């Protein structure tokens, strides 16, 4: 082979191994068309015909078939979906279950599930446990608990017996629905069928009881799972802990936290666990009770993160413990657990939220002067507050300082436009020109609601190409 022909050969080989997307799309479309044709020609017991098709199933093909039948013949589409889920070389993804429920409107028309199974019974179709799992997964995705229970009960008519996984699906549906008595009844039914509740079963029940505020039932179930040899882990402890905090039972929550610390191993609280408890306490005006939790974290070598600090600082400031918040930040900064800039930025934001503007402004300027890096949110919130107070010159001065230091700003076009208009109203031509150039560089357009007022102020006084560019979308 000539050397000059090698590049052409390689290019041709690559094209063969990587067919263009349009070719792949045509192949999938052709496969879907084949399935659709067979379904339309043999709508009665289509499974017998579908098995004769040798084309490969994939997500795009199944999605295309569902789309074709979603409007006029949803039952045929549903029947194809169930059949596809039984094929050995294909498995429905979570995305496909979601798509099927939306396209076939299962939640709005739950009777379609029952109708399909009744048809299977009349036609004498062969069914197995895998088929019922596909149907129950549809019920779970559509959040239709009653139909899920009906399917579970209907399995006996097909000489099929539900397993623990199937019971868990239906128990989870009734827990989500809030019908915990039915869920508990199904759990007892599992035991009567020699099926042992597993961690998934207990987790569904624990979450259900916790969200419903039935803490005694949750605690009793927690003890039961221990007796039955289902050892609680961090997830199960956290579910119960969340429930206790949700209903304001903080004393018991702290006791449970201590139990987790004592248990150790897989039950050892992590930073998320501690932060969740701290947040619950702060949201209920108990930030001073949350403060000692930091010391507990330290003793278990679990260091606070940015979220932990932000939640606690906001709680302390919200309750008026400003000095405690400053002291907290200083202590944590000394320990180097969270970057200085993040801690002080959280403090700036918290001060602004409780209308302590002067203190927040002073702290922010101190940060800039000490070369400490404020985060984008602190910069943006302070900028917005300055604009809302009509201190546009101060806002622009702050903006320039932030830009020079290369800090991140996340303000939107509305704030930029308000600042530009404010500077126009104060006849600050130099600042207007600079801000306009900044906006052009960043590709930020003037908000439509500000354009007329800005042009009114600038007409005949400032002619700048950059301003024209900023308002080029003016109608």
Confidence at 447, pLDDT banded by 50, 70, 90? confident
What residues contact 103, with CB distance under 8 A and at least 6 apart?
A: 66, 67, 70, 74, 77
Query: Mean pLDDT, to the nearest integer, of 176-193?
Result: 93
What residues contact 75, with CB distance under 8 A and at least 6 apart?
A: 112, 115, 116
Confidence at 5, pLDDT banded by 50, 70, 90? very low
Query: Residue 467: pLDDT above 70?
Result: no
End-to-end CA distance of the chain: 64
- How many Å apart are CA 286 and CA 306, to the nearest integer? 20
The answer to whether the beta carbons of residues 432 and 461 sit under 8 Å apart is: no
The answer to whether the beta carbons of residues 473 and 445 sit under 8 Å apart is: yes
Token pair listed for 214: 């039935």
Confidence at 356, pLDDT banded by 50, 70, 90? very high
Residue from 69, 68, 58 nearest 31 by CA: 58
User: Could you give the C-alpha distances from 21 to 17, 34, 137, 383, in angstroms and in order?
Assistant: 12, 20, 32, 47
SS (H, E, C) the chain: CCHHHHHHHHHHHHHHHCCCHHHHHHHHHHHHHHHHHHHHHCCCCCHHHHCCCCCCCCHHHHHHHHHHHCCCCHHHHHHHHHHHCCCCCCCCCHHHHHHHHHHCCCCCCCHHHHHHHHHHHHHCCCCCHHHHHHHHHHHHHHCCHHHHHHHHHHHHHHCCCCCHHHHHHHHHHHHHHCCHHHHHHHHHHHHHCCCCCCHHHHHHHHHHHHHHCCHHHHHHHHHHHHHCCCCCCHHHHHHHHHHHHHCCCHHHHHHHHHHHHHHCHHHCCCHHHHHHHHHHHHHCCCHHHHCCHHHHHHHCCCCCCHHHHHHHHHHHHHCCCHHHHHHHHHHHHHHCCCCHHHHHHHHHHHHHHCCCHHHHHHHHHHHHHCCCCCCHHHHHHHHHHHHHCCCHHHHHHHHHHHHHHCCCCCCCHHHHHHHHHHHHHCCCHHHHHHHHHHHHHHCCCCCHHHHHHHHHHHCCCCCCHHHHHHCCCCC
Q: For residue 193, count other CB atoms closer than 10 A to its CB.
A: 12
The answer to whether the beta carbons of residues 394 and 384 sit under 8 Å apart is: no
- How many Å apart are CA 225 and CA 200, to the nearest integer? 11
Token pair listed for 10: 């390689």
Taken in order 377, 381, 382, 387, the sign of the CA dihedral is: positive
pLDDT one-digit tens code per residue, 76-103:
999 999 999 999 989 999 999 999 999 9
User: Could you give the C-alpha distances from 4 to 10, 12, 13, 16, in angstroms and in order?
Assistant: 11, 14, 15, 20
pLDDT one-digit tens code per residue, 376-429:
888 889 988 999 899 999 999 988 888 888 877 777 888 888 999 999 888 888
Token pair listed for 132: 């019922």
Query: Mean pLDDT, to the nearest integer, of 103-119?
Result: 94
The answer to whether the beta carbons of residues 374 and 348 sit under 8 Å apart is: yes
Mean pLDDT across the chain:
85
- How many Å apart are CA 114 and CA 154, to the nearest integer? 9
Domain spans, the chain: 8-162
Token pair listed for 324: 């405690």
**Torsion over CA of 5, 8, 10 and 15, rounded to 10 degrees?**
-160
Query: Mean pLDDT, to the nearest integer, of 138-162?
Result: 95
Residue from 81, 54, 182, 191 nearest 137 by CA: 81
User: How high is the pLDDT of residue 113?
Assistant: 95
The answer to whether the beta carbons of residues 102 and 67 sit under 8 Å apart is: no
Query: Residue 14: pLDDT above 90?
Result: no
More confident residue, 211 or 346: 346
- How many Å apart are CA 374 and CA 376, to the nearest integer? 7
More confident residue, 421 or 461: 421
Query: Residue 27: pLDDT above 80?
Result: no
User: How high is the pLDDT of residue 471?
Assistant: 64
Confidence at 469, pLDDT banded by 50, 70, 90? low
Token pair listed for 15: 């094209």
pLDDT one-digit tens code per residue, 266-306:
888 999 999 999 999 999 999 999 999 988 888 888 888 89
Confidence at 349, pLDDT banded by 50, 70, 90? very high
């Amino acid at each position: 082979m000539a050397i000059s022909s090698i590049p052409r050969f390689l290019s041709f080989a690559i094209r063969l191994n990587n067919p263009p997307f349009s070719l792949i799309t045509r192949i999938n479309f052709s496969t879907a068309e084949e399935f659709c044709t067979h379904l339309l020609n043999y709508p009665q017991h289509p499974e017998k015909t579908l098995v004769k098709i040798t084309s490969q199933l994939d997500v795009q093909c199944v999605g295309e078939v569902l789309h074709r039948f979603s409007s006029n013949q949803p039952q045929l589409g549903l029947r194809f979906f169930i059949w596809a889920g039984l094929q050995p070389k294909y498995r429905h993804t979570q995305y496909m279950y979601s798509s099927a429920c939306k396209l076939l409107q299962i939640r709005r028309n739950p009777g379609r599930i029952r109708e399909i199974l009744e048809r299977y019974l009349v036609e004498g179709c062969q069914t197995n446990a895998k088929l019922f799992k596909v149907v129950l997964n549809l019920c779970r995705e559509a959040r239709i608990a009653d139909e899920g229970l009906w399917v579970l009960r209907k399995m006996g008519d097909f000489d099929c017996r539900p397993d623990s996984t199937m019971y868990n699906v239906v128990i989870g549906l009734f827990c989500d629905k809030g019908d915990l008595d039915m869920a508990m009844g199904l759990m007892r039914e599992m035991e009567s069928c020699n099926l042992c509740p597993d961690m998934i079963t207990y987790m569904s029940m624990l979450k259900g009881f916790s969200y419903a505020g039935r803490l005694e039932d949750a605690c009793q179930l927690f003890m039961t799972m221990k007796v039955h040899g289902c050892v609680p882990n961090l997830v199960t402890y956290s579910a119960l802990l969340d429930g206790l905090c949700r209903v304001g039972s903080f004393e018991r929550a702290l006791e449970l936290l201590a139990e987790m610390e004592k248990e150790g191993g897989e039950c050892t609280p992590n930073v998320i666990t501690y932060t969740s408890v701290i947040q619950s306490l702060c949201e209920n005006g108990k930030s001073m009770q949350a403060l000692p939790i930091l010391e507990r974290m330290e003793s278990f070598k679990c260091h606070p993160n940015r979220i932990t600090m932000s939640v606690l600082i906001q709680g302390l400031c919200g309750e008026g413990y400003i000095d405690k918040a400053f002291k907290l930040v200083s202590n944590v900064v000394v320990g180097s657990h969270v970057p200085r800039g993040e801690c002080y930025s959280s403090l700036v934001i918290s001060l602004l939220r409780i209308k302590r503007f002067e203190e927040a402004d002073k702290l922010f300027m101190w940060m800039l002067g000490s070369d400490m890096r404020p985060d984008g949110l602190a910069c943006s919130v302070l900028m917005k507050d300055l604009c809302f107070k009509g201190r546009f010159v101060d806002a622009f001065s702050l903006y320039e300082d932030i830009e020079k230091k290369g800090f991140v700003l996340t303000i939107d076009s509305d704030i930029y436009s308000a600042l530009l208009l404010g500077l126009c109203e104060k006849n600050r031509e130099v600042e207007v020109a600079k801000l306009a150039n900044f906006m052009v560089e960043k590709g930020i357009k003037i908000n439509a609601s500000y354009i007329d007022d800005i042009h009114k102020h600038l007409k005949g006084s400032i002619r700048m190409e950059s301003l024209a560019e900023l308002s080029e979308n003016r109608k």
